Amino acid sequence: MNIILLGPPGAGKGTQAQRLVVEQGMTQLSTGDMLRAARTSGTEMGKQVAAVMDRGDLVTDEIVIGLIAEQLDHDNSGGFIFDGFPRTLKQADALAELLEAKGQSLDSVIEMSVDDDALVARITGRYTCGNCGAVYHDTTKKPAVENTCDECDSKDKFKRRADDNEESLRTRLMAYYKDTSPLIGYYYAKKKLKRVDGLGEIEDVAGAIKMALNL
Ligand code: AMP
């Protein structure tokens, strides 16, 4: 089964994707993670996209489609979760073509809806463990022991994304409404769209996603 998690920044796509990886053996393909990895390893492309990402603007379709195309050659026995891709109609068309060329298709698109005020609160307090990627929040999910990751026990490894500030978030939200939200109609017309309320507790949202996917 191949699915897309669609929603604004802070809707919880990454968190829910990680759960599906662990519980269902699916493979998460996050273009945001791939681009951040390219920046960390200092590739030419990584340098090229750094300022665009920090501002909260979208990276070019060519770059992200190229990143996804490379990944689709990997083993897909558990199915792919596309997280943060596609973000434009051009990317959506490219994904359909890439999957078709591999004899595959898209099964479902889960739209995670969350209102803007909740997104700002979620994003501006968010940080992750630099070692294992576990996600924390200043008010809603602090680690049990200060500066220590609950999951992997790493100390002082927490980090915040450069674009998780109010100004970049405003740009990211604008990009979502302008360029990405048309995908809701696009996938609705293809009878792939399922809407899930992304505002609840992580467990409840996970349950709603499973139900939507008949898992
Ligand atoms: P994310 O981790 O999904 O929030 O993505 C972080 C940033 O990476 C975005 O604000 C964009 O600058 C860039 N990015 C990630 N995925 C895409 C995409 N599919 N198309 C264009 N830009 C992207």
Sign of the C-alpha dihedral computed for residues 120, 124, 128 and 130 taken in this order: positive
Q: What share of the chain is helix, strand, coil (3-state, %, to 5)?
A: 45, 15, 35
- Within 6 A (CB) of ligand 1 lie 9, 31-32, 35, 52-53, 56-59, 64, 84-85, 87, 91, 163, 172
Are 169 and 11 in contact by the 8 Å Cβ rule? The answer is no
The preferred substitution site among 5, 13, 15, 31 for testing ligand 1, maximizing ligand atoms within 8 Å of CB, is 31
Can you give the pLDDT at residue 73?
85
Write down the mean pLDDT value for the chain. Answer: 95
Which of the pair, 60 or 120, is modelled with greater confidence? Answer: 60
- Residues with catalytic roles: 13, 87, 126, 161, 172
Q: Which residues in 167-189 are b (16+ Cβ under 10 Å) and which e?
A: ebbebbbebbeebbeebbebbee
Q: What pTM does this model have?
A: 0.92
pLDDT, tens digit (0-9, with 9 covering 90-100), for 14-41: 999 999 999 999 999 999 999 999 999 9
CA 190 to centroid of ligand 1, rounded, Å: 24
For residue range 127-163, what is the model confidence (pLDDT) as tens digits?
Answer: 999 999 888 999 989 999 999 999 999 999 999 999 9
Confidence of residue 76 (pLDDT cuts 50, 70, 90): confident
